[in-house]
Amino acid sequence: MTGFNDFDAGHRDLVTVTKFNFYGTRILTASSDHRVKVWDQKDGTWQLTDTWRAHDAEIRDAAWNGPFTGQHIGTVGEDMKFKLWQEDVTQLPNSGRRFRNIFRLTSPVRTPYVSLDFRNIDLDSWLVLITRDGLLTVLEPANPDTLAEWQQIDQFRVCAEPSRGEETSFKVQFQHDPVDITHTILPSWDRKSLSLVVAAMDTVKIYRTDANRRFYHAIELTGHTGLVRDISWANGSVRGCDLIASGSKDGVVKVFEVYTTLAGSSGNSTNGNGNRPLSSSTTQSPAGRLATQSGIGSALANRSPVAMHRHGGADTHFKHTFKEVASIDSTHLDVWQVEFSFAGDCLLTSGDDGIVRFWKRSISGEWLEFSEADLTDEYGTHFSTTLIFLSPRELYVETLQLTAFLSLCTDKSKLLIID
């Protein structure tokens, strides 16, 4: 890290979200002031392109859709709504009308959406949303030529509904490799199969699609004793396993290796180093995983899909095992964000202590703290940090450049870029 570059994001309240676009040339910021801003990099500086009121309450999450369908931004807020925004290049910059709302969806339950993510394969897009009480919804465009209409393809609860007043934590992320690992180990498998990782209260769960493109619960990554605040799924499943990091309220950061093998193969009980994983989950047939229901129970289940849980495996093709390769007491007090680098060999974490820590995997496989940046020295006390690795994908060269938006006592809307 060579230094800090900063500029005033201009928000009137806490900045809650920062995201780069696919190429790292644009940044979106979202805030508790209900507004979204888009910044473009020009002549070595970040210039404001537009600002608009996106929600009638605090914005909880936002994300860019992929670069092959135009410029689209998805947002979710405390007003119970998801909104999709499309850039209209015919409108002047900073007119407040550059991004127009083309689709909106209201939460089907009495809790707002808190996390979202997009998945792109070729020209196809998928969207996943999760509510504060753990209801997960997956959608796809009704017409592949436009993103103005979306249809639901799956919906289920990732855990039992939390009790009233209970503190909750849910986060969702797609696996973003060009090809899912299930297609890599079984080439005849659907090339557009999807995988999800979900932070569900104090545990981490992985869901994959079966032959009918219906999500099943592949495996649960256990070990946390506090609420899981954030998750990150590293790129590069070609390493032979999926790499997933999670950070929790108790300050612990965990790194898991998830192994997917063909069910019944002789090599599915150990990992690539010959060490036995901590836990495994073999997929089952639908008949074997569902308890027999009465006629009334079956009818109620069919009428109320939001009350249904997605149990272990609906496909007999794969077996999933995992190994906890790192459990780090990060001293963050409360970990709010974890983020892998593009290559998956570096990890950034941040939390309540106001320090961004940079972890790197050693030759022996151990995760060690490589460096840290104490942002409280210059910028004062802050409560949480959001950070993103930037990797210009058109060059396929990883850079150690990240953005950190800080909730500062002195200035809540300061944007810091660490080069």
Q: What is the pLDDT of residues 72-111, one digit of tens each?
A: 999 999 999 999 999 999 999 999 999 999 999 999 999 9
Indicate if the pLDDT at residue 121 is higher than 70.
yes
The answer to whether residue 294 scores a pLDDT higher than 70 is no
When pLDDT is averaged across residues 230-239 and rounded to a whole number, the result is 85
Residue 24 has pLDDT above 50, yes or no: yes
End-to-end alpha-carbon separation of the chain, Å?
A: 5
Q: What is the mean predicted confidence (pLDDT) over 402-415?
A: 44
Task: Give the span between the Cα atoms of 16 and 9, in whole angstroms.
Answer: 12
User: Cβ of 42: how many Cβ atoms within 10 Å?
Assistant: 10
Furthest C-alpha separation in the chain: 67
Q: How confident is the model at residue 305 (pLDDT cuts 50, 70, 90)?
A: very low
Q: Could you read off the pLDDT of 205-230 as tens digits, one per residue?
A: 999 999 888 999 999 999 999 999 99
Question: Which one is predicted more confidently, 274 or 322?
Answer: 322
Most confident of 36-40, 314-318, 401-405: 36-40
pLDDT score of 407: 34
The answer regarding whether domain 4-418 maps to CATH 2.130.10.10 reads: yes
Higher pLDDT, 348 or 238: 348
> Is 198:171 a contact under the CB 8 Å cutoff?
yes
Whether residue 277 has pLDDT greater than 70: no
pLDDT at 270 over 90: no
Question: Which pLDDT band holds residue 414 (cuts at 50, 70, 90)?
Answer: low
pTM (global) more than 0.85: no
Domain ranges of the chain: 4-418
